[in-house]
Amino acid sequence: MTRPSNRRKFLAQSAALTAGVGYWTSAASVSRGQDSALTGLSAACIGVGGKGSSDTSHIAEQGVNIVGLCDVDRKTLDKKAREFPDAAKFDDFREMLDQLGDKVDIVTCSTPDHTHAAACVRAMRMGKHVYCQKPMTWSIREARLMRETAAETGVVTQMGNQGTSEDGLREAVEVIQSGGIGDVTEVHIWSNRPIWPQGAGRPAGEDPVPDSLNWDAWIGPAPMRPFVEGAYHSFKWRGFVDFGTGALGDMACHTTNMPVMALKLWDPVAVTAVQNPGIVNGEQYPANSQIAFEFPEREGLPACKFVWYDGGNLPPDEILQQLPSRFLQKVERQKQNPGQRGTSGAVVVGSKGIVFSENDYGAKYSLLPSDDYADYKLPEQKLPRIPYKSGTDERHKWEFVQTCKGEYAPGTMSNFGYAGRLTETILVGNLALRAGEGKRIEWDAENLVSTNVPEVNEFVGREYREGWEIEEPAATAG
C-alpha cells in the first residue's frame, strides 16, 4: 500500500528531533508495537539470512509490515519468504528499493560490511528510516558519509550494536561519567575473534557460480573476483579486506561501545599496531593483532590510551591480575589451549578503581576492587531506560521502531550520529595494520587523513565498481 506524503513528512520531522548525538532523561509511555492508522509502518529487509533473519523477524514483531525481502542467495531468500509469504522477493537491493518506493518506510541492512553504505545511503536518500548491522560501514569515509546523510535527511537510524539498549551498559556509562572510578587514562579490550579464516591470503582457483546465487550483487561495490566455493559466502568474508573489517570491525562496535560512550573516545590523534603480522598478500587481515589508540584531552577528560587485542592476545598481567579469580581461571585455560576459543573482556582503568565487563555487549559490569565498592551508591540516572522488557536484540528493535513511529521521545541511542563516530574511531585501527608493526600513524580525524604516513590514506575509502556508486550529501558533494 502507498504511504501518503503527509504521513512521511510527519515521520521525517519526528525523526529529525531525535537524530543527533546525545543522552536523554525523558521517559516514554510503553507501547507493544500496536499499529494505528497513523503509525503503521512497512519495511524492506536487505540480507535475510543469519543475523538478517532475526533482524527481519524482530521488527515484524513490533508491528511492522514486511513488504520486501532481498538476499543474493535464492535459497536463503526462499526460506525467509516462508515466514513472510506476502513480501516481494529480490536478489538486488537496488531493484527492490526502486520498485517498492513509497510502499516502504523502513529499510534494514544485514549484509556483509562492504555493501552497508551502498544500501543505506540509497535508502536514506529515499527518505527511509534505516537499521544497519554493525560495523556501520566497511570504510572510515563511508562512516562519515552515513553520519552526514542521516543528519541531512532527518530519518531515524540505528546501528545493530544491541548492547546499547541494555540497562547495564547505560548504568556503567553513568558510573564512569560521574567519576565513580576516578580519572580514566587507559582502557584495555580483548576479543576471542576471529572465529573465521583470516591471515592466509586469496584462495586459488575458480568455481561455477551456483544458479541460486547473484554473485554480481554479492560483490556489490567491491572489485569483481572469481567465485570460489566456500571461500567467501556465506560467513567467511569477514577476514577479507575487500569485504569485511576483520576481528576489530566485527566486535569492537560491541565491546568498545560502553567505554567509548562513557569517555567520548572518538577522533584519536594516533594509532599504532603494536603486534601486527600484517595484511596477507593485500587480501586478508592478520590472524591476531594488538592495536594502541591515543586520545587527547577532550571536554575536561584526561588524555587516554585504548589498547585492542584479538586472536588470542591478552592485556599485560598487571591488568589481568586485578580481575576476579574465577575469570582468571578462564584466562589460564585460554593460555594453555591457544587453539580453542578464548575470553573477551573490557577493563576501564580509573584512578580510584576499574570497571570490568566480560560481556561482549557491555551489558553487565563489575566495579573493582569489589571491597572498595561494597557500599557504593549508584549515581543519579541520566540516561533513559527502555521500558520494553524482552531480549537484548528485541529491545533494540523496539527502541528503533517506536522512534520511527514517533512514540518514543528519547530516540535511538546508537543512531548514525553516534554510531558513525564510533565506527570511524574503530576503523582507524585497521589503517595501522596496513602500516606495519610498530609504526605510529598520526591521524587528522577532521579531514580523515594520516599526516605522517600518507600511504595509508588510499585505504580510508575506495573507488566503487560501476553501477554501485554512492551518492554523497549535497553539503559535501563536489
359-388 pLDDT tens trace: 999 999 999 999 999 999 999 999 999 999
| Predicted pLDDT at 450 | 98
Give the residue from 289, 315, 297, 267 showing the smallest Cα distance to 185.
Answer: 297
Handedness of CA 151, 157, 162, 163 (dihedral sign): positive
Instruction: Reply yes or no on whether the pLDDT at 470 is more than 50.
Output: yes
| Predicted pLDDT at 474 | 55
| Predicted pLDDT at 402 | 97
Q: Spell out the CATH class of 5-164+388-419.
A: alpha beta
Identify whether the C-beta of residue 130 lies closer than 8 Å to the C-beta of residue 124: yes
Q: Kindly report the pTM of this predicted structure.
A: 0.92
Give the residue from 151, 139, 149, 111 showing the smallest Cα distance to 16.
Answer: 151
Residue 50 corresponds to which cell in the numbers above?
543469519
Give the residue from 415, 422, 324, 429 showing the smallest Cα distance to 367.
Answer: 324
DSSP E strand stretches across 263-338: 270-275, 289-295, 304-310
**Mean per-residue pLDDT, 397-424:** 97
Grid cell 524492506 is found at: 44
Residue 200 corresponds to which cell in the numbers above?
592466509
Q: Which amino acid is at 211?
A: D
**Mean per-residue pLDDT, 246-254:** 96
Instruction: Reply yes or no on whether the pLDDT at 225 is more than 90.
Output: yes
**What DSSP string runs through 364-421?**
S-EEESGGGGTTPPPPPP-S------S-HHHHHHHHHHHHHTT--TT--TT-HHHHHH
| Predicted pLDDT at 340 | 84
158-205 pLDDT tens trace: 999 999 999 999 999 999 999 999 999 999 999 999 999 999 999 999
Mean pLDDT, the chain, as a whole number? 91
Rg (alpha carbons) of the chain, rounded to whole number: 22
| Predicted pLDDT at 473 | 56
Q: Any idea where the domains of the chain sit in the sequence? A: 5-164+388-419
| Predicted pLDDT at 426 | 97
Q: Which amino acid is at 242?
A: D
**Mean per-residue pLDDT, 200-229:** 97
Give the residue from 64, 137, 135, 147 showing the smallest Cα distance to 106.
Answer: 64
Higher pLDDT, 469 or 25: 469
